[in-house]
Structure 1
Amino acid sequence: MQKIHTLIAIIFITFTACAQQTESEIIAVEPTNLSYTAELVVPDLSIPWGMAFLPDGSMLITEKSGELIHFKDGVKTHIEGVPEVYLRGQGGFLDIETHPDYENNGWIYMTYSSAEGEGDGGNTALARAKLEGTALIDFEVLYKAELNTKKGQHWGSRIEFDNEGYLYFSIGDRGNRDVNPQDITRDCGKIYRLHDDGSIPEDNPFVGTKNAKTAIYSYGHRNPQGMTKHPVTGAIWVNEHGPKGGDEINIIKKGKNFGWPVISYGINYSGTTFTEITEKEGMEQPLFYWVPSIAPSGMAIVSSKKYPNWEGDALVGSLKFSYLERLVIENEKVIKREKLFEDIGRVRNVVQAPDGFIYVAFEGKGIYKIVSK
């Protein structure tokens, strides 16, 4: 396998502020992690969006263009029966995840941009299916956001299961920031929670609220493209794109409003402001925010003994600056930051696999495994 020998402990020269922390509290990480390198495992991928691992150690990979790849023993097999993808802007074939009890039920979950439903254009859908040979079978759509739009931005979307077996997934605000995120009667700009069959849990926060989308679990989000379950607390963590500045990490809580676009640490791409406030009663503060934006996509919290110096740290991909960022966290505060694998490519996803290794998907490159030198 091809190895990329890169210096992975590059100290940030400039550190950004984070919620309830000052710049002086973010400390440079000493270059002590020189023992790791990135080993190319799956070559020749364009935009590998999602990764899911099967019990035999093989991997399912979504390509944004609409392909599903089964990678086993060094061979790529293109899977048939995938959903038709409405390919537009940031939309395409997005995340993929296996059921926690996959060995017994075989369910595979996926999010993608879909043209089905009311209106021109598309919106984000969640579906499940089973893999039989080289094809998906028993395909069924579990949730489809409304209404469709021809806008190409902010589809989300990541999928995660919690310790109780509830299914969470994200949908971005679809470029309609002034309407969707703060309105619980509308889809988009939300984190959703379902049972594994797509039904609505009775204790979802807006069940019984008139006209509410009862799949919603939290709202006021911009474009969450990273989601992971904390290995100790079991909480669902997300990262989401801000505008120009103000990317965030949030710990999802039932029924909470995460503020977009009423509060933000960012500004318009033009440099103008759209809000004068960064906090407001009844709205959650992020665990951490980036200024300037790094364009975060994909996130994992390390629990593997293969990386003893990283246990409990968050790994977040940067699309904008093409590196993997390590965030050292203590008591739900970021105390240190570190750049890893700079300039390999735009990081689309990062996953800690069942084998304990961390896999990172780089656009235009492929999927790499982080290993000891």
Structure 2
Amino acid sequence: MKSLATTLATACALLASHAAHASDRDYTTDVVVEGLEFPWGLDTLPDGRMLITERTGTMRVLEQDGRLHEQAVQGLPEVWVEGQAGLFEVKVSPDYRETSRIYWSYACGSANDSSTCLARGVLNESSSGSLSLSNVEEIFRSSPGRTGSAHYGGRFTFLPDDTIVLGLGDGFDYREQAQKPINHIGSIVRMTLSGSVPSDNPFVGLSEADPYTYSYGHRNVQGIAYDARRDRLYTNEHGPRGGDELNLMMPGANYGWPLITSGIDYNFARITPFKQLPGMTGPLLEWTPSIAPSGMALYRGDKFAQWEGDFFVSALAKKKVQRVRIAGTEVVEQEDLFTELERRIRYVYSAPDGFLYLLTDQQNGELIRVQPQGE
């Protein structure tokens, strides 16, 4: 158990860091492109162009000169768009130089039977510079399907062993199912690059759990980041009113939703009296009131030395990005950033060029570049 002195010292450090608020900003922000329709995710191709997804079902190409290509990427499978459902994350495959593959997540199905899907395809370029997909494969579909149009998760990342971890949601109306690893509701799943079950997944061979399940007891996973230097996987997820979480992931762990949470329901009813229970893993960090976390990046770049190794959590409700510093398994510093933009931030991205990029959650969405003063 921590001593009182240690607890007070940590609290004081956190209060001091919150007070910073980047009042003497050592960065500038520039709108790279606007006119995006509820942008959701982005990644960078080896030649420096960016792929940007719009929740409304379109994947766009941003040229190196900042020009948004007129024609969207062709060949996407049908995306179900309604409420929170739509096109989500896009990632360039680790073996892109050999295969030209990209991966993307999206809502699939219909109002009465929808799921979160993950697909891959080969990216082709025409003589005019437009991009299209071929050899498209759906490699994963969450099960069971559900009604409604909320809580799909959709963030995913690659691990160094050539596997993929994909965060899912509880479908809003199905939260009790998040305690049942036999299904994918409220879980994180892990698969190979082709979509098969890795033999070392934690529940392989157990009749009471689905072999894709990596962890369970989640509400709506919205951010995911792998720290290669520490060999650690982190996620964040929405709580209801409060109880947003930053989690250190462990294979096979139960993260407690809805049996443990600091949040309350949208009608102000208490969901559970418990914040911890035996056999359940609590968060590294909770946000109450809710900030509505919507993405997460680990900064490993050469432009912001002061931020090296820090996590950046984009937030919708609080219209900011939360910088989080972790030492060991303790959160030791937090800072509110980019509040001056007064924008709902859907995604924060640490790019190969060393800059941070933000996507704003709006009809006329923006891609914003963050760079050091004087860059």
TM-score (norm 1): 0.90
**Number of equivalenced pairs:** 353
Match of 1:4 in 2: none
1:197 to 189, 194, 198: 194
How far 1:60 moved relative to its partner?
0.6
Report the 3-state secondary structure (helix = DSSP H, G, I; strand = E; otherwise coil) of the residue aligned with 1:28. Answer: helix
Structure-2 separation of matches of 1:33 and 1:58: 32
Structure-2 separation of matches of 1:42 and 1:169: 28
Check if 1:75 corresponds to 2:72: no
- Please list, as runs of the form range in 1=range in 2, the aligned pairs for 1:132-143 lying within 5 A after superposition: 132-133=124-125, 134-143=131-140
Structure-2 separation of matches of 1:332 and 1:268: 29
How far 1:270 moved relative to its partner?
1.3
2:266 to 264, 269, 272: 269
The residue identity in structure 1 corresponding to 2:74 is E
Q: Deviations over 1:68-124 (max 9, x none)?
A: 1111131323111112111121110011111112111222111100007xx923111
Structure-2 separation of matches of 1:220 and 1:176: 14
1:104 to 86, 98, 105: 98
Report the 3-state secondary structure (helix = DSSP H, G, I; strand = E; otherwise coil) of the residue aligned with 1:335. Answer: strand
Check if 1:259 corresponds to 2:256: yes
Contact kept, 8 Å, 2:10 with 2:332, in 1: the verdict is: no
Contact kept, 8 Å, 2:187 with 2:214, in 1: the verdict is: yes
Structure-2 separation of matches of 1:87 and 1:22: 44
The residue identity in structure 2 corresponding to 1:108 is I
Structure-2 separation of matches of 1:248 and 1:131: 35
The residue identity in structure 2 corresponding to 1:107 is R
1:302 to 292, 299, 303: 299
Check if 1:366 corresponds to 2:358: no
- Please list, as runs of the form range in 1=range in 2, the aligned pairs for 1:128-207 lying within 5 A after superposition: 128-133=120-125, 134-207=131-204
Structure-2 separation of matches of 1:163 and 1:33: 38
1:303/1:355 Cα in 2 relative to 1: closer, same or farther (>3 Å)? same
- Please list, as runs of the form range in 1=range in 2, the aligned pairs for 1:1-373 lying within 5 A after superposition: 23-24=11-12, 26-29=14-17, 30=20, 31=22, 34-72=25-63, 73=65, 74-76=67-69, 77-115=71-109, 120-133=112-125, 134-210=131-207, 212-342=209-339, 343-364=341-362, 365-373=365-373
How far 1:177 moved relative to its partner?
4.1
How far 1:211 moved relative to its partner?
5.2
1:352/1:90 Cα in 2 relative to 1: closer, same or farther (>3 Å)? same
Structure-1 separation of matches of 2:174 and 2:262: 15
Decide which structure has greater helix share.
2
Query: Gapped runs of 5+ residues in structure 1?
Result: 1-18
1:61/1:357 Cα in 2 relative to 1: closer, same or farther (>3 Å)? same
RMSD: 1.9
Contact kept, 8 Å, 1:231 with 1:301, in 2: the verdict is: no
TM-score (norm 2): 0.90
Contact kept, 8 Å, 2:215 with 2:252, in 1: the verdict is: yes
Structure-2 separation of matches of 1:237 and 1:286: 10
Report the 3-state secondary structure (helix = DSSP H, G, I; strand = E; otherwise coil) of the residue aligned with 2:306. Answer: helix
Structure-1 separation of matches of 2:9 and 2:162: 34
Query: Gapped runs of 5+ residues in structure 2?
Result: 1-6, 126-130
Query: What percentage of aligned pairs have identical amino acids?
Result: 36
Contact kept, 8 Å, 2:168 with 2:221, in 1: the verdict is: yes
How far 1:332 moved relative to its partner?
2.7
